[in-house]
Structure formats: structure tokens, C-alpha cells
Amino acid sequence: MSIAILIGVHDGVVLAADSASTLSLSPPPGVIIPSGTPLVGNVYDNANKIFNIVKGLPIGCITFGSGNIGNASIGTLVKDLRQKLTKTTKNDPAKEMGFDPTNYTMEGIAGIMAKFFDAECSSLDPRAKSNTNIGFLLGGYSKPGNLGESWSIEIAQGVVQTPKPLRKPEESGINWGGQSESIQRMLFGFSPNIFAVLAQVTQPTQDPAEVETNLAPLLLSRLRAPLVFAPMPIQDAIDLARFLVHTAIMFARFLPGPNTVGGPIEVAAITKHESFKWISRKHYYDQPLNKEPVHVVIDKQHED
């Protein structure tokens, strides 16, 4: 599992995620597993979940849910998409995909992503397709555009859903995906399981969906914690996003079972003028060995 947080304010969009990735394993031949026992293999703490979809442009996304489509990881596939959107060859794939880096919309980017992953899912066999459930939270700026936008794409059992806007650009808010019970408890004031519990104790027993329809608006109006406001500075949005991911990690740590949310916390901020910037990021290589080339401009008037 994982936790993915997107916060939108007028100053920009913040993306934050943990790094845990759970691998479920089938039992080896000859090994009998009791019925109902969850088949959880290893939990790895170095998965990449936040991506700058086009380097140099204010467009980013977080992924949660299944970590792969077929044999390819979501990280590799997002980078494959990035490569297609940044090619500048004679037969330009970016133009074939309907992408112009000087004139695009976030709705168009969401549509391109949905089409790309739909093609990837279409090649899966039925069993693999039914087990492919992935979510994406997209944040960024249209060009031209003055306010950050937030979108979501869901892949349910290998079927890519139509991208949806999470809110109007002028509105602020928090969105999340993955193992987020701790986040909902803190922000909404109740567990997402409360409606099933209440349905069981009513006489006669009710449908949990009906209980949720009747009670959710009342509970939210009385218990919701207002933590995000449109004028919030981007640094405060960054601090809040990091706090929410850390809370989810600690919540999972002390629950019985494997730590399915954990590892290093990664955070990125997307603003109109600074574009996509990493705030905290893990590296699997030594940075001194992978420095970007630096162009130095010497001021002749102050040269020794």
C-alpha cells in the first residue's frame, strides 16, 4: 500500500508520498497456507511515486495502488511517457500525442496519460488486468494559466476511467489516496468504517451506503478540521503535506501486521514561476557522481 497527498493552494500544488511498496507472493510448491491467510511477501521502502511528467514544465503526479502494469513498474512507464512527450525528432511523438509544450491544458495532459495507460492495460491477460488497480493524482499549471489545477485518474481492474478535476482552480483543498484511514480520521473526525458499524447496530439493519448518505453531510459539517486555506504560503502547504504522510506512516507502524506505509518521505512543490521543484527526495546513487552540468557566467568586471 501507500499514501499519496496532494494539496492545492493559490501559491501552487504540493505532492507528498511515502516510499513503501508491498510485494504479494504465492506460496512455493508443496507449501500449504491456511485459508484466509494474507499472502504478503516483502515490503520494500524505496519505491518512486512522485514524478515530474515533463521535465522543466510545472506538471507532476503521484501514483498509489498497484506498483506495476504487467512486467513494467509505474515509475518506468511514467518515464516512458515523459520520453514520448519530450522527443524532438522529425517524427515527433509529442505532436502525435497532441502535446505542445508551449500551449497545453492540464485536462489535456490528464487525457494523454489516460490514453497512454489504457494502451498499456489493453495488452494484459484477463487475470493480470483484474488485479490492476492504480490511482494518479495530477497537479500543475496549464500554459497559459495562472492557478494550479488538480486532477485524478483511476484504473479499476485494468480499465482506465475518465480523468476528473478534483476542484476548481480557484479553490484550495487536500486530496489523498492509498492507505488513508489515519488521514480521514484526523481531517474528517471519523473512520471510513463508521457507516458499516452503524448500519449493523440499527434496528432493522440498514444498508451502509444509505447510512453514509444520511449521516456523512452532518458529520462532515460538525467534525471536519479546516487545515487548508487558499492564501496559505507554499511552505506551510509543504509542511502540512509532510506531516500528513508522517502521520500515516506512524499509524501503519503501530498497527498489527507489516508496515505497508513507510520509507523515506518525498515531497515536491509546483508553482507558476519555479515550476516543479523537489523539496525532499531519496537517491539510489551518490549525488557527487551524478552532478548536472553547471554553466558558469563570469562577471568580467569582478574577475581577478
Residue finishing a domain among 200, 223, 246: 223
Predicted confidence pLDDT, tens digits, the chain (304 residues): 689 999 999 999 999 999 998 765 444 555 454 555 544 457 788 889 999 999 999 999 999 998 889 888 899 999 999 999 987 666 676 777 888 999 999 999 999 999 999 999 998 888 888 889 999 999 999 999 999 999 999 999 999 999 999 999 999 999 999 998 999 999 999 999 999 999 999 888 889 999 999 999 999 999 999 999 999 999 999 999 999 999 999 999 999 888 889 999 999 999 999 999 999 998 777 767 666 554 444 444 444 4
Same domain (yes/no): 109, 202: no
Given this model, what pLDDT does residue 272 score?
95
Cα–Cα distance measured from residue 114 to residue 174, given in angstroms and rounded to the nearest whole number: 22
Asked if residue 34 is part of any domain, the answer here is no
Judgement on whether residues 180 and 140 belong to the same structural domain of the protein: yes
**Is-contact 156 130, C-beta < 8 A?**
no
Supply 145's cell numbers. 494559466
CB 112 within 8 A of CB 98: yes
Q: Is residue 71 part of a domain?
A: yes
d(CA 58, CA 39): 40
Last residue of a domain, one of 172, 206, 223: 223
- In the sheet that holds 12-17, the strands lie side by side as 173-178, 3-9, 12-17, 266-271, 275-280
Identify whether residues 208 and 129 lie together within a single domain.
Answer: no
For residues 54 and 9, is the Cβ–Cβ distance under 8 A?
Answer: no
Residue 105 lies inside a defined structural domain of this protein:
yes
CA-closest candidate to residue 85, choices 66, 65, 111: 111
Instruction: Specify whether the CB–CB gap between 260 and 22 falls below 8 A.
Output: yes
CB contact at 8 A, 120 and 70: yes
Residues 96 and 194 grouped into a single domain: no
Same domain for 98 and 155, yes or no, is yes
> Between 208-223 and 194-201, two packed helices, what is the crossing angle to 10 degrees?
120
Domain total of the chain: 2
* Distances in whole angstroms, Cα of residue 67 to Cα of each of 36, 193, 300: 23, 25, 52
- Return the sign of the alpha-carbon dihedral for residues 107, 108, 114, 117: negative
Q: Can you give the pLDDT at residue 291?
A: 61
3-state DSSP helix/strand/coil % of the chain, to nearest 5: 30, 25, 45
* 151-164 CB burial, b ≥16 within 10 A, e <16: bbbbbeebebeebe
Domain limits for position 199 = 190-223
CATH at residue 281: 3.60.20.10
Task: Mark whether 181 and 49 lie in a shared domain.
Answer: yes
Q: Which residues of 186-195 are buried (b: 16+ CB within 10 A; e: fewer)?
A: bbbebeeebb
Whether the CB-CB separation of 262 and 252 falls below 8 Å is answered with yes
Flag whether 30 is in a domain.
no
In a domain, 31, yes or no: no
Q: What confidence score (pLDDT) does residue 302 get?
A: 43
